[in-house]
Structure 1
Amino acid sequence: MTRDIIVLTPRMPNPETLLAESDLLTDRSVVVLHDRPILAATTWLTELLRTAARTGRHLYLVTPPGTRLLLGDALEAAWQTLTGEPPAEWSTAEPVNVPWSRRQLTDLARTRARGGSPTWTVAVGASGRPAIAAVRVVRTRHGVEEHITLALGYGAGQSVPLDLLPGLAEELATGHGLATMITELRTARADLTTPAHFEPPPIPVSLTLGPDAVADLGLARARSALSGLAPAELGPAARPGLHCALGDGTDPAAWQRLKLVNEQLSGKGR
């Protein structure tokens, strides 16, 4: 049985047309004005970047202070902090064998968002450190949201880098639009597979509220809810995030602490 294979090659935009579509063009610079919450790495923008480089120009993106670029950057930042390297591969299903690319992840999510569909992907790390993440991207009335679950495996005799969590929390809160983050520790297989029998549940280690979450709640109310946990402020004092430790991952009472905090934040503890 034979099959015809049709290869579709997209027509690349004319370089002169691309440059003309920018907001300001000089012999040395290309300026793009972007007044939106999310700056997506569209095909137009990436091609404009290449064209600017080929013509000896610098590309300048002018945005409001709160604008954020490229999906996957928060996951990459967390992966880099906790393992020393970025994710290795990603895909929308197994086998996970596509080289990690924030640009391709963004393009996929953007295409699916046009049809009103969320995007679910999985990423894995190199063999030196078992790591796997699930990323769900959804479009809401507030913009684009990423829901990330990252799991790392540590063997017997290996220390879990809990000391890196405060620094990671600050990086995500100040530079990657973090809303909330909960970190947990559990006893399980280091290779991250799940056997067909009971395993101990995870235990909360820390809680982080991003600047937007703190602003929505009010700083005084958020600090009051976390008062028994000595929360640390993250980022500028005018608009901080908050990070607090719930335990060391060995005390089940951390679940009760998290429950009380949640009740306080939701107003149920009043």
Structure 2
Amino acid sequence: MTKDVIALTTRMPDPWSVLAGLLSGGPDKLVGTSGDGAVVQLCDAQGRPLVSVEAPLLVAVEGEAERLLGASAPPVPYWWTEARATTGVAEAEQLAGTFATRLVSLLGGSAWPPDAVGSLAVVPSDGVSVAPAPAAAQPAVDVLTDKVAVVIQDRPVVAMTAWLSDAFRAAAEAGLGLQIVSPAGTTLSPAVRDVLGGWPSRWIVQDERDGYYDGLTGAVLRWQDGMFAPVVAPDAAEDAPVAAVFRDVADTGERQLGLTFRMVHPADDQLVLGGGLETVWRALTGNPPAGWGTAEPANLPWSPRQLTDLAHRRAPEPTWLVVVGGPSRPGLATVRITRTEAGVEEHVTVAFGYGSGEECPVDALPALAEALATRHHLQSMLVQLRKARRDIAVPPRFEGPGVPLAFVLGAEEVRTLPGDRARRTPLPATPVALGPKSRPALYYPLPGDPSDLSGWLDFERLMRHLKGA
């Protein structure tokens, strides 16, 4: 397994402290850079990286180290510096640990994992063999074939870090799938699940009994033909085997309230993005989001203006963001902002977690939908309730699908449908008009019982009706 070591320091790692850490391999080790200088690498005699160090990130959002690492951190703001050791090289892991130890000793703070903290002495690494190119050319990729890029993650939560984001981008540009391998007990951030895509990309979990299995589907996997793929059932009429541990689940009473919505704003100089998501957060939690960023950890305090400025600078290229809440109410959203002929589109997926003794604020949904429809150019929204963990993390166990609580159609979409099609539906419940009577949006209530998936049949009937099928 590769080794990620993270230094959480109270002071910024300046060039001298970084240099002191890089000298953990001795003064004769080569130092190189990649990613336009954003990554510094400690290399062997052939110039192949032993340890890759990401540019330090200033984190001003509380709770991110606890959420992603299960570890305490210095008071915000603090500096998050990741060092990634090259695959399967014990000396490289020691170098990464010594690098983090030296940073913490100079700048104060702590390192993760705790057992990575070691001696400040130089690590003997002469004659160490390193993975050859091209795998070593991309610090986040451990194995590269003509079908997939494989990333090995040994951390409590597989998050959408800058490392992993680069790996996704590199794999997509090369026309490859991305396969993430992690040990048992690891969970997945929803931000990663939502962009993992389809075959052959997978989240692969190691298991003592079955070897490897897909953490999202449970399919038992084997390394074959240059990638992890499902084991073929002996009888073609049978389903592929599912890992026993994947099916070992129990209803804890925890729930997640999920919303997926799309807004289309007129493109003008006065536009400020993020207002719709903040409206959702305040309506369901009583507070605005805690922070946001272009990767995890989310490092910036919530600011719709700064978010808008970033999207404007990146246009016409799309912008992907992650938004998090405070520790008291777990919540995470991903936002994709694109410039289209219709205007500026925000596509948001957000979920909030609730314990077995907590009530989901479903009564707030109609008023929330009206605020989005009248003030934030809502096009459509689907609200779901599902049996899932309060902390939002995705476990390598079966989690049933959500069930639809409500669907909302924006005022412009209602207006464009012919006749009374939007108002007269085959569902038993009458849609609720939102906003001005002359130009209303419509709220369609659905059963929303997480133990009964028949609500999806009602949702399908509604969609077919609205599309005129």
TM-score normalised by L of structure 2: 0.43
Q: Which has the higher strand share?
A: 2
Secondary structure, counterpart of 2:413 in structure 1:
helix
Letter in structure 2 aligned against 1:262? M
1:37 aligns with 2:266: yes
Distance 2:427 2:446 in 1: 12
Superposition deviation, residue 39 in structure 1: 3.8
Distance of aligned partners of 1:219 and 1:241 in 2 relative to their CA distance in 1, 3 Å threshold: farther
1:259 pairs, out of 452, 457, 460, with 460
Superposition deviation, residue 38 in structure 1: 3.5
Structure 2: any 5+ residue segments left out of the alignment? Answer: 1-14, 20-264
Q: Which has the higher helix share?
A: 1
Letter in structure 1 aligned against 2:266? P
Distance 2:281 2:335 in 1: 13
Distance of aligned partners of 1:100 and 1:109 in 2 relative to their CA distance in 1, 3 Å threshold: same
Distance 1:158 1:236 in 2: 34
CA contact under 8 A between 2:373 and 2:441: conserved in structure 1?
yes
Distance 2:426 2:308 in 1: 35
CA contact under 8 A between 1:39 and 1:70: conserved in structure 2?
no
Alignment of 1:124-203 (within 5 A): 124-203=324-403
2:311 pairs, out of 81, 94, 109, with 109
Superposition deviation, residue 218 in structure 1: 3.7
Partner of 2:295: 93
Partner of 1:45: none
Distance 2:302 2:312 in 1: 17
Superposition deviation, residue 85 in structure 1: 0.3
Secondary structure, counterpart of 1:121 in structure 2:
strand
Q: Which one is further off, 227-236 or 191-200?
A: 227-236
Distance 2:441 2:462 in 1: 16
Distance 1:109 1:226 in 2: 41
Superposition deviation, residue 125 in structure 1: 0.5
Superposition deviation, residue 40 in structure 1: 3.6
Distance 2:272 2:314 in 1: 15
Aligned CA-pair RMSD: 1.9
After superposition, the C-alpha distances for 1:76-116 in whole angstroms (9 at most, x for unaligned) are: 00000000000000001011121011011101111111xx3
Letter in structure 1 aligned against 2:267? I
Secondary structure, counterpart of 1:120 in structure 2:
strand
Secondary structure, counterpart of 1:252 in structure 2:
coil
Which has the larger Rg? 2
- Aligned-pair identity in percent equals 47
Letter in structure 1 aligned against 2:287? E
Distance 2:426 2:435 in 1: 17
Higher relative contact order (CA 8 A, sep 6+): 2
Distance 2:375 2:417 in 1: 20
Structure 1: any 5+ residue segments left out of the alignment? Answer: 4-35, 42-68
CA contact under 8 A between 1:180 and 1:208: conserved in structure 2?
yes
Distance of aligned partners of 1:226 and 1:39 in 2 relative to their CA distance in 1, 3 Å threshold: farther
Count the aligned residue pairs.
208
Superposition deviation, residue 227 in structure 1: 5.3
Secondary structure, counterpart of 1:220 in structure 2:
coil
TM-score normalised by L of structure 1: 0.73
CA contact under 8 A between 2:426 and 2:461: conserved in structure 1?
no
1:220 aligns with 2:420: yes
After superposition, the C-alpha distances for 1:219-261 in whole angstroms (9 at most, x for unaligned) are: 6111123653210111111111000211133331110000001
1:120 aligns with 2:349: no
